[in-house]
Amino acid sequence: MQTSSAKIKLGFIGAGFIGQVAHIENYAQLDDCELHGIADLRPELLAQVASKFGFNKTYADHRALLEDDDIDAVIVVTARAHTVEVVKDCLLAGKHVFSEKPMAGNSKDASALVELAKARQLVYCVGYMKRFDAGVVKAKAVFAQLIDNQELGELLQVNAHCYMGDSYCKAGGYIHTQQARPQMPDEADFAPSWLTNAHRPLFARYVNVHSHLLNLLRYFLNCDMEVEYFNFLSAKAHVCVLRTDRQLVTLHTGEVDQKDWQEQCTFVFEHGQLQITLPPALLRNVPAQVELQRNGDITEKTQYQVPWSWAFKEQAQAFLEALKQQNLSSPIAASEALSDIQLAEAIWQKISN
């Protein structure tokens, strides 16, 4: 690993849309890293992306990239069905890793990756960038203070929902070619074996879209949650009730035909509430909105102003900091992502029981 004063040499596996827009472009703007090499199975796309961002080297596949001893850490943004095998190869090659979520299709595979990274003493992070959203960071600090000073009394309940719309926000400036994506297995094949064939693709979709919200709830509550209830009447609408020692958590998730992205967490206290409204993922430089309501003879609402910033870029910087400090327990450590998959499995077990 490079010293703290040297630039960290990064390798990227995957040159597609999300790889370019959400990751490569952000790291390219940071001074303490170098875009050393990139691998993709599509030669034309690989060449164009490498040229645009100034990569030093290109590789026909990820195994060739991993043979480069100069690379300190690897950013993995492949098709979800290939994430486990690619990350495993990276860790076995002694490379620090950041991968997109979900880290695996089931907790068994995810746990094996976490244990491998731990055994090799490697930094392994997974892309739950909302933990670095400036609004979320502010809300977390306010929430911790409310819990500590009891200004609004006890926390009674948490209500959260996500009705996804168009998270891409017409993101432009990315390279796409006529080359088709390589044939890949169905991600449903990697869902837990105890699920029925009908439920496996539904679980895979649920983990991919809604694990962000599960991750955020765990981040704030910082405790185990038991699943009281889960059901759905269609593949695109779900209701879940979770329970901590002292609160109920309701979770409504779905996919509807809309451009708008509706995602919100409301922490209900005895004498007020804290509300976080999250932006679409690729809406650049627009952080979450945070509002604190104090109830009394006069209801007061405070809207916090936070700097214009983008969670993906803040996440990139945080990964570099984790590498410099050899921090194996970053807020986006793979062990956190494993807990999200375990919680998702506990939720869907309510259907299979």
Higher pLDDT, 4 or 224: 224
Are 122 and 58 contained in the same domain?
yes
**Count: domains in the chain:** 2
Cα–Cα distances in angstroms (integers) from residue 11 to residues 95, 137, 240, in the given order: 10, 29, 39
Q: pLDDT by residue (tens digit) across 55-84?
A: 999 999 999 999 999 999 999 999 999 999
Are 158 and 298 contained in the same domain?
yes
Are 112 and 173 contained in the same domain?
no
Are 144 and 286 contained in the same domain?
yes
Does the structure show a pLDDT above 60 at 303? yes
> What pLDDT score does 353 carry?
62
CATH value at residue 121: 3.40.50.720
For residue 268, the enclosing domain spans: 130-309+341-352
Contact 44, 16 (CB under 8 A): no
pTM confidence score: 0.95
Cα–Cα distances in angstroms (integers) from residue 98 to residues 14, 149, 202, 317, in the given order: 12, 37, 26, 12
CA 260, CA 276: separation in Å to the nearest integer? Answer: 16
Q: pLDDT by residue (tens digit) across 127-173?
A: 999 999 999 999 999 999 999 999 999 999 999 999 988 888 878 78
- Neighbouring C-alpha atoms within 13 Å toward the C-beta of 298: 3
In a domain, 1, yes or no: no
Q: What is the CA radius of gyration of the chain?
A: 21
> What pLDDT score does 2 carry?
47
Contact 238, 230 (CB under 8 A): yes
Are 48 and 153 contained in the same domain?
no
- What does the block give as tokens for 16? 């597609």
Are 113 and 251 contained in the same domain?
no
Are 113 and 159 contained in the same domain?
no
Query: What sign results for the dihedral spanned by CA atoms 150, 153, 154, 159?
Result: negative
In a domain, 288, yes or no: yes
Contact 98, 317 (CB under 8 A): no
Are 108 and 18 contained in the same domain?
yes
In a domain, 2, yes or no: no
Q: Is 294 exposed, middle or buried (0-12, 13-18, 19+ CB in 10 A)?
A: middle
